[in-house]
Amino acid sequence: MVIHLSEETIIEKNYSAFFKMIPGDLARVIVWLAASIVAIHLPFLNTTPVRFLLVLPLVLLIPGYCLITALFPKDGDLNLIERMALSLGLSLVIVPLIGLGLNFNPWGIWLDTIVISLVIFTLVLINIAYVRRIFHLYDARFRVPFIAIAGSIRKRIFPAESSRVDQLINVTLALVILVAIITTVYVITAPKAGERFTEFFILGENRTAAEYPGRIIAGQDYPMYIGVGNQENRDMAYTIETWIMRTEFDNVTNTSHIIAMEPNDHLSFTLTNNETTIIPYNLSLKKTGYDRVEFLLFNESVPGLDVTGSDRINASYRDLHLWVTVGEAEYEDLSI
């Protein structure tokens, strides 16, 4: 006797077989990772609250959850509430540790390295969790009861013994809560006039916040990086100037005074809103006797060269500096 199965039955069987092979929670984490990457990099999504909604669990929940599910693959090791609480706590530890590790590698800390590191970390733990689960009987494996949770929520909103009026009130309350959550997320993520700012930072030769040039030989190049991030809610024209200075410390006022100041380099460019650039820069000083390199960032208006000293620093939009010691070619041998 030949039994013909309907197309719906075949799809249902294939669906069940898929989630028996790949646990539903791990499959959903993979889908969430993919959606988060899309939201981070697509231009029409990475400036909307959708990015915040997708990336927040990626940072605060998913790394810890994958670690917990890899450590405890059996059902009954921990209940769902314990898993969620531990996932949140471990994520708050894992993500800063990943950032700390990135600070000491050649790629440094920036958006792509953080995303790649989180994705690799999560996928490795997903594979470990999957392998550990398949060594247990199917009924003994941990599974998130998505259907039971959805059914419980539905029964609370639409209890069997409630009237249509009660059900309508419950639905209205649920919608109000949902709108409140969405509104809160929008208020947090939407740009505000008072939050306009520009990021300005310098990195060492390995694109980390370390290994800045301190002892410099006149005429030699010292590679580093200058970063600018536009969060002004509009396109901005920037100018970066570097100045070399000779300073003198006043023991009475406990401050440094500028004795001499000469221009060293400058660069002009434009950034669109929400754009960040990291520019390779070779620091080279031609003269000895200077002890400070000043990096000045101007936004659209640059004063004339007659404005010098502290007045020019105060006129800049952002300023950074490095304390250095400049010597002749034989200086390196004398400093060993």
What pLDDT is stored for residue 52 in this prediction?
80
Query: 114-143: per-residue pLDDT in tens?
Result: 889 999 999 999 999 999 888 888 788 888
The H helix count followed by the E strand count for the chain is 10, 9
Work out the average pLDDT over 215-222. 87
Interval 75-84 mean pLDDT: 85
The pLDDT of residue 283 is above 80: yes
* Over residues 179-196, mean pLDDT: 64
Same domain, 133 and 43: yes
**Would 83 be classed as within a structural domain?**
yes
pLDDT at 160 over 70: no
Percent of the chain with pLDDT over 90: 24
CATH of the domain at 275: 2.60.40.10
pLDDT at 334 over 50: no
103 and 11 housed in the same domain:
yes
pLDDT for the residue numbered 15: 47
The closest of 266, 251, 247 to 322, measured between CA atoms, is 247
107 and 217, same structural domain?
no
Same domain, yes or no: 217 and 287 = yes
Same domain, 200 and 330: yes
pLDDT tens, residue by residue, 221-263: 899 999 999 988 888 999 999 999 988 887 777 777 888 888 8
Domain that holds residue 311: 196-334
Instruction: State how far the Cα of 299 lies from the Cα of 282, in Å rounded to an integer.
Output: 22
Mean pLDDT, residues 67-81: 87
> Are 128 and 210 within one domain?
no
pLDDT value at 332 more than 60: no
1-13 confidence digits (pLDDT tens): 444 545 455 444 4
Does 170 fall in a domain?
no
Mean pLDDT of 72-77: 86
Mean pLDDT across the chain, nearest whole number?
Answer: 81
| Residue 227 belongs to some domain of the structure | yes
Residue 216 inside a domain? The answer is yes
Written as one letter, the residue type at 59 is V
The stretch 66-90 carries a mean pLDDT of 88
- What share of the chain has pLDDT > 70, as a percent? 85
Residue 292 has pLDDT above 50, yes or no: yes
Q: Do 99 and 210 fall into the same domain? A: no
Lowest mean pLDDT among 111-115, 269-273, 315-319: 111-115
Tell me, yes or no, whether 307 lies in a domain. Answer: yes
Q: Are residues 43 and 125 in the same domain?
A: yes
CB contact at 8 A, 263 and 302: no
Asked if 202 and 319 sit in the same domain, the reply is yes
Is it the case that residue 65 has pLDDT exceeding 70? yes
Going by pLDDT thresholds of 50, 70 and 90, the confidence category of residue 157 is: low
Residue 177 counted as domain residue? no
Same domain, 217 and 134: no
**Residue 187: predicted pLDDT:** 62
Do 219 and 135 belong together in one domain? no
- Residue 173 forms part of a structural domain: no
Locate 317 and state its tokens.
């939009």
If asked whether residues 119 and 201 sit together in one domain, one would say: no
- Examine the fold and report which residue of 100, 129, 144 is the final residue of a domain before the chain moves on: 144
Average pLDDT over residues 19-25: 70
Residue 221 lies in a domain: yes
Rg (CA), the chain: 29
Q: Which of 104, 123, 144 is the last residue of a domain?
A: 144
Question: What local confidence, expressed as pLDDT, does residue 238 receive?
Answer: 94
Domains in the chain: how many in total?
Answer: 2
pLDDT the model gives residue 6? 52
Helices (H), the chain: 7-21, 24-41, 49-60, 62-71, 80-102, 111-134, 146-157, 164-189, 309-315, 331-334
